[in-house]
Structure 1
Amino acid sequence: MSEPIKIDIWSDIACPWCYIGKRRFEGGSTLFAEAGDGRAVEVEYHSFELSPDTPVDFDGTEVDFLAGHKGIPAEQVHQMLDRVTGIASSVGLDYDFGSLQHTNTVKAHELLHFAKANGKQLELAERLFRAYFVEGGHVGRVDDLADLAAEVGLDRDAAVEAMESGEYLAAVRDDQRTAAEFGINGVPFFVIDGRYGVSGAQESATFAQALEQVWTERAAADESATAEARA
């Protein structure tokens, strides 16, 4: 029963709900772990691009992008962003949409795969989200991304080489194909223990309950296997 529950998360760095969902999931996994008996989770991030046709250097604000992308008035976009900012604040995130630099995120996804190969994916995911939504950093250009990689302890030169060579682009595309096979058309999307899907930035308690359900089912399966072995 000590094996962690595997959590596969499809997300995009440019998705405000993904960062909120990350915080809420972390709250839920903490609640789950606090119940003891070796409860733990193992998290892996997977690539999903919300707007793959976005240029690396988008000429305009986040309001401009969303108004054009969704075809809604700028005033309505402002109201949407104000609402999201308030929800982000409730989980300790200080979103700054005014300074956000909208960009293409494919290189960020490639870098996340590079980070996974080097044992730093979770640290990099957090750093990229914070740079994008809180600090107004650019997460689409290789040099800027390499700086962020170095901040979490990754080799900067190796990160640049990985992104410029496209070494991990196939891994990004594999994630996207798997998402399509699973029917995932929005993020964040959480796959728990390879069996249960949770869509959206659910409340922490919801995540904790889902994890506890999987843990209980595992315990029941282990007890049944033990009983059969003794019979």
Structure 2
Amino acid sequence: MTDPIKIDVWSDIACPWCYIGKRNLETGLAEAATDADAPRVEVTFHSYELSPDTPVDFEGTEIDFLSQYKGMPADQVEQMLERVTGVAADAGLGYRFDILKHTNTVKAHELLHFAKEQGKQKEMTERLMSAYFTEGRHVGRIEDLADLAGEAGLDRDAARDALESSRYLEAVRADQAQAQAYGIQGVPFFVIDGKYGVSGAQPAAAFAQITRQVWAERAEAPAAN
């Protein structure tokens, strides 16, 4: 049996395009899964921090953050967020920038590595992004993250202990070093089967197409001796 196609995704919990890209990827893979010879796919998420200098408890709105930290005029930020909200809605996501709590995401990334070890990375990634972009939940503090871990089916106390010990921080840094080695300068970034790089929140159809293409290439490749 052919090995599954590996899709490695570099993203940040606080990146609006990353959640859109994630949903479009899932939609595209679901479309390809209806094929007679459906591709088998294994998706792994990797850590990338867009704003590592962000405080855990940022005092202000998302507009305040982007205005202060990125030097963008408030009206320009509002227009940008309206556009992103519309694109998110097209992907089936209800963004709520009005209640979003901007925060540092390094602990959320540590939690994703803990979840990966427990076989729950997919569920934890979805829970974190939904909590952040649609529910106004805090994803930077350990106790809040432990609550979300419990909601994703993980042991809450074990998750809290993992975050307090920072034992997954090295794994987060390794992901970031790999992103740097690949030359990744923005997210989401998708590495398909270790040989194709796809940047940005591509449409679902694009993900379906490249997955089918790689699967067909696998079928056409001569068998190893």
User: What's the TM-score, normalizing by structure 2?
Assistant: 0.98
Does the CA contact (< 8 Å) of 1:29 and 1:40 recur in 2?
no
Displacement of 1:38: 4.3
| Aligned match of 1:189 | 189
Displacement of 1:55: 0.2
Q: Which runs of 4+ in 1 moved over 3 A?
A: none
Q: Deviations over 1:59-105 (max 9, x none)?
A: 11000000112211100100000000011001110000000000000
C-alpha distance in 2 between matches for 1:38 and 1:31? 9
Displacement of 1:2: 4.0
Does the CA contact (< 8 Å) of 2:12 and 2:49 recur in 1?
yes
| Aligned match of 1:225 | 223
Displacement of 1:213: 1.2
Aligned residue for 2:223, secondary structure, equals helix
Aligned residue for 1:43, secondary structure, equals strand
Superposition CA RMSD, Å = 1.0
2:26 maps to a residue whose letter is E
Does the CA contact (< 8 Å) of 2:96 and 2:134 recur in 1?
yes
Aligned residue for 2:164, secondary structure, equals helix
Identical columns (%) = 67
1:225 maps to a residue whose letter is A
Q: How does 1:3-18 map to 2 (within 5 A)?
A: 3-18=3-18
For structure 2, the 5+ residue unaligned runs are none
Does the CA contact (< 8 Å) of 2:12 and 2:50 recur in 1?
yes
Does the CA contact (< 8 Å) of 2:39 and 2:211 recur in 1?
no
Does the CA contact (< 8 Å) of 2:62 and 2:102 recur in 1?
yes
| Aligned match of 2:58 | 58
C-alpha distance in 2 between matches for 1:148 and 1:188? 23
Q: How does 1:179-218 map to 2 (within 5 A)?
A: 179-218=179-218
1:51 maps to a residue whose letter is S
Does the CA contact (< 8 Å) of 1:2 and 1:38 recur in 2?
no
Aligned residue for 1:54, secondary structure, equals coil
Does the CA contact (< 8 Å) of 1:2 and 1:39 recur in 2?
no
2:202 maps to a residue whose letter is Q
The structure whose Rg is larger is: 1
Q: Deviations over 1:169-218 (max 9, x none)?
A: 00000000000000001000001111111000001111111111111110
Aligned residues: 225
User: What's the TM-score, normalizing by structure 1?
Assistant: 0.95
C-alpha distance in 2 between matches for 1:119 and 1:28? 23
* Alignment pair present for 1:115 and 2:115: yes
For structure 1, the 5+ residue unaligned runs are none
Displacement of 1:33: 1.3
